[in-house]
Amino acid sequence: MADCIFCKIVKGEIPSFKVYEDDTVFAFADINPISDGHTLIIPKKHAENIWEIPADDLAAIHRASKKVAAALKSSLNLDGVAVLQLNGRGVNQVVMHYHLHLIPHISGNPKFFMTDWELKPGNMDVIRKNAEKIASAIAA
Ligand SMILES: [Zn+2]
């Protein structure tokens, strides 16, 4: 897409700190990092979200995430990596080009707010009904 900032990064029209690249994906440093080493992996071909992206591009991104996560682990003093991916304005997707966040948690730093929720048992009837609704909607 002509006006997409991530498409421009893939084409080199906007500079980035590249971490990894192959035929299908491009990985680069997030310039609004949650932590040191915060990296984004995107498809080279524009797709807005998980509903649009071709399955092969999605698989390529996750294969690349294994390489990038290994590099994060061996190059930074981390004790965990959050893998986060947002789809839609309702969950604060800001750039409308699919991107997978790899967010290292550096040892000794405070916990991430998004990985530190309290476990509270839910209503089993509601959980079962939602699971049944979703299961029946799964596309073959
Ligand atoms: Zn794009």
The CATH number for 29's domain is: 3.30.428.10
The predicted-structure confidence for 94-116, as pLDDT tens digits, reads as follows 999 999 999 999 999 999 988 88
The neighbouring-strand residues paired with 15 are none
Question: pLDDT higher for 90 or 113?
Answer: 90
CA distance 4 to 19: 20
Reduced to 3 states (helix: H, G, I; strand: E, B; else coil), residue 59 is helix
What pTM was computed for the model? Answer: 0.94
Q: 4: CA distance to ligand 1 center in Å?
A: 5
The structural domain count of the chain equals: 1
What are the residues whose beta carbon lies below 5 Å from ligand 1 (ion)? 1, 4, 6-7, 46, 97
Interval 35-59: pLDDT, tens: 999 999 999 999 999 999 999 999 9
Q: Is 99 a catalytic residue?
A: yes
What is the span of the domain harbouring residue 24? 5-137
C-beta of residue 53 within 8 angstroms of C-beta of residue 98: yes
Mean pLDDT of 85-95: 96
**In the prediction, which pLDDT does 29 show?**
98
pLDDT recorded at residue 139 = 85
What are the strands, taking DSSP E only, across the chain? 18-21, 25-29, 39-43, 78-84, 100-106
